[in-house]
Amino acid sequence: MRRLIVSLVTLAALLLPQPVFAGQPAVGVVTNFGPNLAAVCHMPEGITIDPTGNLYAASFAFQPTANICVENRSGQIVDVIRVPAGKAGIASLLGELFEPSQGLYVVDFADGAPTNGRLLRVNVQTHAVKVLATGYSAPNAIAQDRHRNLFVSDSFLGAIFKVAPDGSSNTAWIQDPRLAPQPGGSPPFGANGLAFDRNQGFLYVATTSDSKIYRIPVEKDGSAGPLQLFASGAAIDASQQTTEALHGADGIMFDTHGNLYVCANSAQHPAPGLPGEIQVLSPGGKLIARYDGVGQNDLDFPASLVFHERALYITNLSLDTAGANSKLSVMGVPYPGLPLRP
């Protein structure tokens, strides 16, 4: 494992002795989880978990049918859900969210052309797929508020849409040029990962092309307040004397202590290797930890993450290696994640 701990004080806070649970992964050690998925769920991007601990990994397939692999807590594939394409003729699945009363939500990037993106709901028992909303250009991530409204980021439109749980309404909650792809940025995606903080006072959003995290106040009437910069990779590099902070910021998620875990899908630090790290920001936006695997356990373009107890599961999109390392990874963490559902 390569890792850089920026602050010894923060390191002590993160790594205080914790109770040891049977099967708990070692804190900060990244290892592969389950089989290579290249043959069945090529280039997994989105990930979520159900109350039983089953993981759902969605394939960014660009195929007439895209698969969702279901892995149990032992890393065995116990089901494969096939999602047919819409009008674009190809399906390419990204962010996911499991809601026990509704089922599995997943977004379909399709071909990235305007209006072809879809928000879907999947019955994980019958595999029935229902289209809840359409009209997106590049739908990417999903979050849910306490009222069960869904929030969907669109990486090309620079927008976040608010969708009723049954799809009966679908409106742009916020649209801002800063949430669109920025000139010269790579990968060329704007608004990406989404996460509410503990009190749902803010919705946080990662912008991939310029390696930033913004937060959006949730007003009393549920509308979006003015966009606020929470963390900038370039500013962190300058102030903390590091490199490639938040580079390619993708999926994000909070732990119960207010630390924000970020898939920095393009970061390579300190040594060359496959692209990507998990980087951790403090509640104040300071970079406090960064993690990667080594050898066969190296992260390869990590895209999304989900907590289960004190384990963090990660998808490896394997974008630059043509899907050769399509896999899930796992590492132990000091504190559980915030619940995905209020």
Dist. CA 179–CA 329, nearest whole Å: 29
Q: Higher-confidence residue: 46 or 14?
A: 46
Task: Write the burial class of residue 96 (CB in 10 Å: 0-12 exposed, 13-18 middle, 19+ buried).
Answer: buried
Question: 3-state class of 301 per DSSP?
Answer: coil
Strand ranges (E), 199-293: 202-207, 212-217, 228-232, 249-254, 260-264, 277-281, 287-291
What amino acid is encoded at 241 in this protein? Q
* Residue predicted with more confidence, 9 or 236: 236
What's the pLDDT score for residue 18?
A: 42
- The mean per-residue pLDDT over the stretch 253-270 comes to 95
- CATH tag, 3-14+29-332: 2.120.10.30
Alpha carbons within 13 angstroms on the beta-carbon side of residue 89 total 1
Pairing relationship of beta strands 311-316 and 159-163 according to DSSP bridges? unpaired
Task: Compute the average pLDDT of residues 73-78.
Answer: 97
The pLDDT of residue 342 is 60
pTM for the full predicted model: 0.93
Structure tokens at 225: 């307040």
- Domain ranges for the chain, please list them: 3-14+29-332
Q: What is the pLDDT of residue 19?
A: 41
31 pLDDT higher than 80: yes
The 8-class DSSP code of residue 238 comes to: H
